[in-house]
Amino acid sequence: MADQIAAASQALALVPSTAFSGNDMAAEFALLKSKLASIESTQDRLTSEFSALKEQFTELNTDKGPAIEELEKKLEALKKVVELELTSIYHSQQRLPARLNNSRCTVLNTPLKAPVGADGKPPPNFPATRGEFEHITKERYESILKAYGLPIKGDTDAKREAVRLYVGIPQDGL
């Protein structure tokens, strides 16, 4: 289609262009008439070529060959990835206020806010204060990590640090 548009542009460029002099109206009218005829014939040719292309695309859309089915599968897979990414972005934005609140928790009795997990809900048994967070059990850290879909690796200190980073609690300040 790009080749056809380029060919049409070249055909139009070949039509001589002159400015109106006002002296010979009949000659200028004849020149305009020939230019118009050239443009109309080019439009007719482009219309017929466009119709042929349209017909070819229509045939492709109705032909359910293996390539089309494969393409549809890939499109569905990409659609699911985009939906998951949008959900992830949505939940990330929902976590921001809680993380901002938690970033100011530098005293042990400061209340914490639980960011939402992958399911859109805060994890059960999330610690209420900074002091409680610092002293919960390894199993509780693991359940929080699991609720957020984070890897559960390392000793208690590593798990505490992973949760601390994810929920926005500062390390210093105690």
Cβ–Cβ under 8 Å, residues 108 and 174 = yes
Alpha-carbon distance of 134 to 157, in angstroms, equals 10
CA-to-CA dists, residue 152 to 39, 43, 98, 113, 124, angstroms: 71, 67, 22, 21, 17
| 120 domain-assigned | yes
Helix axis angle for 25-62 and 2-14, nearest 10°, is: 170
Residue 69 confidence (pLDDT): 79
Quote the CA–CA distance of 44 and 56 in Å, as a whole number.
19
Structural domain count of the chain: 2
Q: Do residues 103 and 51 both lie within one domain?
A: no
69 within domain boundaries: no
Average pLDDT of the residues in 108-135: 89
Residue ranges making up the domain that contains 43:
2-14+21-63
Do 36 and 107 lie in a common domain?
A: no
Q: Is the pLDDT of residue 63 over 60?
A: no
Within this chain, do residues 86 and 146 fall inside the same structural domain, yes or no?
yes
The answer to whether residue 68 sits within a structural domain is: no
Mean pLDDT taken over the chain: 81
Q: Which 3 state secondary structure label does DSSP give 108?
A: coil
9-57: pLDDT as tens digits: 766 666 555 544 555 677 777 877 888 888 888 888 888 888 888 887 7
pLDDT in tens, 69-79: 788 888 888 88
**DSSP H helices in the chain:** 2-14, 25-62, 66-102, 130-134, 138-147, 156-167
Task: Give domain status of residue 85, yes or no.
Answer: yes
